[in-house]
């Protein structure tokens, strides 16, 4: 493939492990409120031009198809692309390190002060907003699927199996995956 032919050319543009770590660490530290994929795109495609826009989209698609968080998968794939296995490890660690420290810090306070009435009141308000945020994100990610009959049917049926019939997730996926793949099977051209 042409991307492999270009490999030698790109070496000049490929970052040191330390640089890679620091860049992803920065994203991990500043990405309050989500939208990490956007930060990653700015870094990888615009700021450093480590990936072409096309490569970024291809990796995003793989990351979305595979299990796991899209932002973490992007770090894995971009890191591997740029510096192999070590690059993947370094980029992923950089991305999750700041949040891990942050979350653990607040988590320690929460676990050790749980059931304090005023903290529970604040968390009650925060949880309500987090629900609204999650609903908004779900609506945005759903995008065109809400207006697409086939997609909407799959969405509703999945929701019913999971939330109304309360099936365990592996069964929901075992039931829904074959049905959805059949509905979206490739249509042979000619």
Q: Which of residues 13-32 bind another protein (CB under 8 A)?
A: 28-32
Q: Is 158 an interacting residue with respect to another protein (CB under 8 A)?
A: yes
Contact with another protein (CB under 8 A) among 8, 11, 65, 190:
65
Q: Is 77 an interacting residue with respect to another protein (CB under 8 A)?
A: yes
> Which span (14-22, 45-53, 168-176) binds another protein, by CB under 8 A?
168-176
The CA-atom distances, in angstroms, between 21 and each of 24, 40, 79, 86 are 5, 13, 9, 10
CB of 17 to another protein, least distance (A): 16
The CA-atom distances, in angstroms, between 24 and each of 17, 76, 103, 142 are 11, 11, 18, 27
Q: Is 33 an interacting residue with respect to another protein (CB under 8 A)?
A: yes
Task: Using the minimum distance from each CB to another protein, give the nearer residue, 14 or 180.
Answer: 180
Q: Is 127 an interacting residue with respect to another protein (CB under 8 A)?
A: yes
Among 96, 106, 102, 187, which Cα is nearest to 150's? Answer: 187
Q: Which of residues 86-105 bind another protein (CB under 8 A)?
A: 88, 92, 95-100, 102-104
CB of 46 to another protein, least distance (A): 19
CB of 52 to another protein, least distance (A): 14
Q: Are 178 and 154 in contact (CB under 8 A)?
A: no
Among 76, 90, 95, 71, which Cα is nearest to 15's? Answer: 90
Q: Is 5 an interacting residue with respect to another protein (CB under 8 A)?
A: no
DSSP code of residue 32: T
Q: What is the rounded CA–CA span in Å between residue 143 and residue 64? A: 15
DSSP code of residue 165: S
């Amino acid at each position: 493939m042409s991307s492999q032919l270009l490999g030698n050319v790109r070496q000049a543009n490929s970052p040191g492990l330390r640089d890679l770590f620091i860049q992803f660490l920065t994203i991990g530290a500043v990405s309050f409120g989500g939208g990490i994929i956007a930060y990653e795109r700015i870094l990888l495609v615009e700021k450093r031009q480590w990936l072409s826009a096309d490569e970024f989209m291809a990796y995003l698609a793989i990351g979305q198809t595979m299990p796991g968080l899209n932002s973490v998968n992007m770090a894995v794939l971009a890191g591997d692309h740029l510096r192999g296995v070590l690059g993947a490890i370094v980029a992923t660690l950089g991305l999750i390190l700041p949040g891990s420290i942050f979350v653990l810090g607040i988590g320690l306070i929460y676990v050790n002060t749980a059931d304090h009435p005023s903290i529970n009141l604040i968390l009650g308000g925060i949880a309500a907003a987090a629900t609204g945020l999650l609903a908004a994100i779900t609506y945005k990610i759903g995008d065109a699927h809400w207006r697409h009959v086939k997609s909407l049917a799959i969405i509703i049926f999945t929701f019913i199996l999971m939330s109304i019939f309360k099936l365990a997730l592996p069964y929901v996926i075992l039931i829904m995956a074959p049905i959805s793949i059949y509905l979206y099977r490739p249509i042979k051209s000619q």
